[in-house]
A and B are shown apart, each in its own frame.
Chain A
């Protein structure tokens, strides 16, 4: 099993551009989530999903959209990138919302 995969590994955007961060898992996990990690801030939850067709907001959802059309995929869309969205983004999945989370390797995003 590949586990949780994320693409791209690194991306540079200009302010105002849009992009999609991809996340996929092959463990048939129902729960998936997106976090951003900034220096000294720990991980902050952006959006999460408890199953296909169901998504909800975390603590820092503004500027991001998600959808969950399949169990395997949970893409994160930046609608209009801002420098404040420069961060490392991690996707995670688990059997349930309170169980062990499995993390992807992360996407480093730089917004100029």
Chain B
């Protein structure tokens, strides 16, 4: 029972472009979280959006949440080569599950 599935699976863009990743989940949530994982490293928390919030910003990150559609999106603006990583969403329910992630490649 995956709670948090990312789309697309892979994304390749040029440096300076924006990157958008989507997440869908199945049941009602208290919050939704996005994480980044650089190759060979542990996950790092990026941003948490509560169920009563519709949009949240953190630096070049913008997260939206649509509870009626059970979906969220992560926008990275003005991407940099250092943004190359895998991005995961998690919509914690009774247990904490992650999806398979979106692999983002930013080409210098």
- Where chain B touches its partner, the secondary structure class is loop
Let me know if A101 and B30 touch, CB within 8 A.
Answer: no
Give the B interface residue count (CB, 8 A).
24
Known: A42-B88, A103-B42. A98 touches B98 (CB 8 A): no
Q: Is A102 a contact of B98 with CB atoms below 8 Å?
A: no
B10 to chain A, nearest CB (A): 11
> Knowing A102-B45, A103-B42, A106-B41 touch, does A97 contact B92 (C-beta < 8 A)?
yes
What are 29 residue pairs bridging A and B, where the CB atoms are less than 8 Å apart in the complex? Answer: A35-B98, A40-B100, A41-B100, A42-B99, A42-B100, A43-B43, A43-B88, A45-B97, A48-B96, A58-B95, A59-B1, A90-B43, A92-B42, A92-B43, A97-B94, A97-B95, A97-B96, A98-B93, A99-B31, A99-B48, A100-B33, A101-B43, A101-B45, A101-B90, A102-B45, A103-B44, A104-B42, A105-B41, A106-B42
